Amino acid sequence: MNRNVHRALFTAQPIRALLLAASLLAATLGMMPAEAFGASRIKDIADFEGVRDNMLVGYGLVVGLNGTGDSLTNAPFTKESLTGMLERLGVNIRDKTGAISAQLTPKNVAAVMITAVLPPFGRQGTRIDINVSAMGDAKDLRGGTLLVTPLIGADGEVYAVGQGQVATGGFTATGASGSSVTKGVPTAGRIANGAIVERELPFEMSHLESVKVSLRNPDFTTSRRIAQAINSFLGGDMARPVDPGTVQITVPAGYRGNVVGLLTDVEQLRVEPDQMARVVIDEVSGTIVMGENVRISTVAIAQGQLTIRITETPQVSQPSPFSDTGTTTTVQRTDIQVDEGAGNKLAVVAHRVTLQELVEGLNSLGIGPRDLITILQAIKAAGALQADLEVL
């Protein structure tokens, strides 16, 4: 065989293999349903019963500030807290009458509120992050140290204890003349791993006979799709939608004592969540968010404003040079312009237009976000907007 022909055949074999692999991949993707590309995992759209966070709160003192703490005359709770802490440590700052000494006026102490989130299944001895926020008139918490502070839950029990160095994301600088510069929020900070879990929440999953799946956005269609996906995976009627926000799963015999394994398999199943047609408007920032299923009935839209501009241009009138008559005076020149929005047009929006067609039609009128908010509210009032209108 000719050497050149042999080289050509050898080179063509990898190319044929690549073309064959590409053809198989295209055929596989073509057989997959279109919904699979827009589907979400159950773990991304729902939560499981008992797997939840718990809020903690506490009150404490931050010490070691560089003269930026609370003024005890304006924050009496800081003074009482400081007095109580010192007395528990064996330091008496009261006079013979039992009153707190008037000389107690430190500037390096601040009363703060502590907030934290106890993660699900947080075990005793693990550490969590805490947030520190000033309560009084402290100027800056930078460089301060939080003293031992118990963190309690909604039931009044202590679940964690916090302490540590406060790290703030801002600062304040003041000059001798009274001018100051502030960046960020220096009166709020964070302590990474600043609390130790002291009490666990009693909850065991291994002995559960049924588990509830809670949808983050309740919907009848989505809950039914989740139940169908779970039943298809388990091969039986083990899941049923209880309400738009809950799907109840009966633990199969093969998963008894292994609920964690069941939830691990279930949360990876993919479901295409359904959503309501909704338009969300934030009037403060002028933000408008419209869902995919928003539809509008046939309606005519016109937008225009009457604008009157008055411009005053004073001019100086003076006599000719070397003239014996006449005086220099100021003559008022007024220019008035009226804009009645003649350039704006009346547009007809066809029946059941899509979201893209709606946006393109309104943009063709030269309408900005602020005017679009008013137009959408008017369309909803006319009954032509087939969606929920939510104003934040």
How far from 23 is each of 15, 18, 104, 313, 388, CA to CA, in Å?
12, 9, 83, 75, 45
At residue 143, the pLDDT reads 87
Q: List the structure tokens of 175.
A: 């000059």
Q: Divide the 392 residues of the chain into consecutive groups of 10 and give the mean pLDDT of each group.
A: 45 48 48 55 89 92 90 84 85 72 77 94 92 91 92 94 89 61 81 93 83 91 93 91 92 88 92 85 79 74 55 67 68 58 54 64 68 79 80 80
The backbone torsions φ and ψ at residue 355, rounded to the nearest 5 degrees and listed phi first, read: -65, -40
At residue 228, the pLDDT reads 93
At residue 304, the pLDDT reads 60
Cβ atoms of 119 and 128 closer than 8 Å: yes
At residue 310, the pLDDT reads 52
At residue 302, the pLDDT reads 64
Domain boundaries, the chain: 34-50+203-275, 54-93+102-197, 279-315+330-391
Cβ atoms of 265 and 33 closer than 8 Å: no
At residue 361, the pLDDT reads 67
**Range 34-50+203-275 has CATH code 2.60.40:** no
At residue 307, the pLDDT reads 47
At residue 377, the pLDDT reads 81
At residue 266, the pLDDT reads 92
* CA dihedral angle for residue 84, residue 88, residue 93, residue 99, rounded to 10 degrees: 50
The span from the CA of 113 to the CA of 131, in Å, is: 8
Q: List the structure tokens of 127.
A: 């550490």
- Closest-CA residue to 318 (of 326, 310, 306): 326
User: How many secondary structure helices (H) and strands (E) does the chain include?
Assistant: 8, 26
At residue 208, the pLDDT reads 86
Enter the pTM of the model.
Answer: 0.63
